[in-house]
Structure 1
Amino acid sequence: MAVLPIKFTKTKRDKLAQGLWVLNWISIITGIILFSLGIFWKVEINKRQDLMAERQLQSVPNMLIAVGLIACVINFLGGKICYDCVDTNKFLRWKLVMLPYIICTFFFTLSVLVGALMCYSMHGQLEEAITLGLRDAMHYYKDTDKPGRCFLKGTVDLLQIQFQCCGNEGYRDWFQIQWVSNRYLDMSQREVVDRLQSNVEGKYLMDGVPFSCCNVNSPQPCIQYQITNKSAHYNYDYQTEELNLWMRGCHQALLDYYTNIVHSIGLTVLIIWLFEDGCLSVLTGVRYLQTSLENGDPECKSDGWLLENSFVETAHSNFNIIKHLGKFNQINIACNGDPNIDKPPTAHYGPDNVPPKPLSTAS
């Protein structure tokens, strides 16, 4: 017994095809949106790729770009099929394509949902990539004269100014690394030499930060050296002067920035998926259109359905088909793998394996 059968007239069938054609063109727009979101996310990652370690962050934008392109192709094909279904002669060209189109569109809709879930699941990858990337960028901050690293100082300074942040987790991160190049240290000064010799690794460490950490809202000139020394500055207490430097770490600032972007993209993709899920009605309509055109005379009344048999019967028949295919493959493997099959049996004539002499006939 068919599942959800509906009787169609020629007029009703034509209106269904026209409505499906409009919905497919709307879905092409959603495909363009997915493609644009993937490009935008890819550009945002590449803008600050020097501040983030590679942790397969490109997988999500690449998937969105691919899904967007596939959406445009599938929905353009669907629109063409639905447009041609108004003409019975043109429908015959697409008769064998409609069922594979329905199956591919169903799995494509699932891939849109997977893309939305991937956007919400990459928070951990972002956090790790930003932590490691910022750590390396700060470590090479002083290498302004080394090829491949000379740009990192400007990149980190611009980051701290734009995002109003300082260090990785906070401004004290700069106390633990040497961020001033040795070429700018006056080795004739006893203080500089003592500071280098007092460190096990020979680093010039100090309680100071780059100028880009200075808070522009501070009522007094920025204090970026001897930050923890109260007596070095007049009317200054580093424990209460929070306006002197940016208190937030750049790790949190970048993570919040990219998390907001990826969650916005994920929400948009999820809304598109809900639209596509609503457009499962498109798949339903295409299925009715296919079965109604194939069942009976397309110029007269005909029945359309979702499944020709019940769900149980359809699942059972598909299972049997897969089962028979498996057995057929096993038979082929057995036949191709045994070299003795299809060979005549070897005759055994006796202990000496000599064939007997033919009996002589009487003349």
Structure 2
Amino acid sequence: MGSEDRGCCDKCAKMFIMVINIIIILIGGAILAAGLYWQLNETGFYKEIFNHDIFNIPIVSIVVGALLLLVGICGFFGACCEVMFLLKVYMGFLILIMLVEIILAVGCVAMKSEVEEYATNKTYEFIGYYGDEAKDEADIIKKTVDAIQENFECCGVTGPDDWPNYNAAYKSETAPERTVPDSCCKDPDSAGCGSAKTISANENIYKIGCKVSMINFVENNLLYVGIVSGVIVILQMALLLESSAYTSLLTREEHYLRYAVQARY
């Protein structure tokens, strides 16, 4: 029994595994490239804030991207070249990834308050370092904080009052011409933005803190995260079943060919 004698379902299973793993390879490559960019980039997409021993976005992205690349390569070439060893390694990776996903899901729930507290304290620390050339020689902290405030349309951690409270350069008595950075402003080019006006009277600055803004962003996108997670789990189960069935088919073929050779001689 050769590959040309297989039914349509068996050929479709092989094609399904190959196509899905091409997608996995592309996704893994993209995540790996993003992780490397974050790690090498100055602001690293807020890596300075999330540079936690466990929750380190760039490193996690690099590891996940590399793992997905390895998994995709094993699955693609295992199915394409019909290599039993690669298919078994691929199935082992799928099971391992599913177990890791369960552990991460539980860990994220368990460590939510710890990570949130760490990020909050770290941001307060960076507000104090903002604009201090001795502690931020390359302006990495300044660029990171500015990027967060501009992208999430927020100011400070809990609100704009954090700036005069945590950074002496923005206290009215020491810096009468400035109370918040320009990145807090809705329109940075307008006259008087971040000036000596009291924060409550300044309508040109964001009044919402970045902590609330970022939490709202996550909560508003939880539905999409849930949908994507559900699709990924279903695909993983389908891949595991298809790979198991395809491996069983190759095993039967191998036994059949071995029996045919023995019968001939």
**Amino acid of the residue matched to residue 232 of structure 2?**
I
Asked whether the 8 Å contact 1:215–1:246 carries over to 2, the reply is yes
User: Which residue pairs with 2:50 in the alignment?
Assistant: 52
Correspondence 1:249 to 2:209: yes
- Aligned to 1:142, the other structure's residue is in SS state coil
User: Which residue pairs with 1:308 in the alignment?
Assistant: none
CA distance in 2, matches of 1:248, 1:139: 19
Q: Compared with structure 1, are the counterparts of its residues 158 and 281 closer, same or farther at alpha carbon in structure 2 (3 Å cutoff)?
A: closer
Would you identify which runs of 4 or more consecutive aligned residues in structure 1 move more than 6 Å? 8-11, 204-207, 258-263, 296-300
TM-score normalised to the size of structure 2?
A: 0.69
User: Which residue pairs with 1:87 in the alignment?
Assistant: none
Task: Select the structure with the greater relative contact order (CA < 8 A; seq sep ≥ 6).
Answer: 1
CA apart distance, 1:143 = 0.6
Asked whether the 8 Å contact 1:55–1:129 carries over to 2, the reply is no
CA apart distance, 1:267 = 5.2
Post-superposition Cα deviations, 1:254-310, rounded to whole Å, max 9, x if no partner, equal: 45557778986775465234223112123213213312430477769xxxxxxxxxx
User: Which residue pairs with 1:25 in the alignment?
Assistant: 18
254-263 or 33-42: bigger deviation = 254-263
* Aligned ranges 1:1-363 → 2 under 5 Å: 12-13=5-6, 18-36=11-29, 38-39=31-32, 42=35, 43=37, 46-56=44-54, 57-58=56-57, 60-82=60-82, 98=84, 100-114=85-99, 116-117=101-102, 118=104, 122=108, 124=112, 127-144=116-133, 148=137, 150-180=139-169, 208-216=179-187, 222=193, 224-225=195-196, 227=198, 238=200, 243-257=203-217, 268=228, 270-279=230-239, 280-295=241-256
CA distance in 1, matches of 2:63, 2:222: 14
CA distance in 2, matches of 1:53, 1:11: 54
Q: Which has the higher helix share?
A: 2
Q: Compared with structure 1, are the counterparts of its residues 122 and 36 closer, same or farther at alpha carbon in structure 2 (3 Å cutoff)?
A: farther
CA apart distance, 1:53 = 3.7
CA distance in 2, matches of 1:223, 1:16: 67
Asked whether the 8 Å contact 1:208–1:224 carries over to 2, the reply is yes
What is the root-mean-square deviation of aligned Cα atoms in Å? 4.3
Q: Is the radius of gyration larger for structure 1 or structure 2? A: 1
**Amino acid of the residue matched to residue 291 of structure 1?**
R
Post-superposition Cα deviations, 1:18-50, rounded to whole Å, max 9, x if no partner, equal: 334312311322322440453366346822223
- Aligned to 2:198, the other structure's residue is in SS state coil
CA distance in 2, matches of 1:135, 1:222: 22
Asked whether the 8 Å contact 1:51–1:130 carries over to 2, the reply is yes
Asked whether the 8 Å contact 1:24–1:78 carries over to 2, the reply is no
Asked whether the 8 Å contact 1:10–1:298 carries over to 2, the reply is no
* Identical counterparts, % of pairs: 18
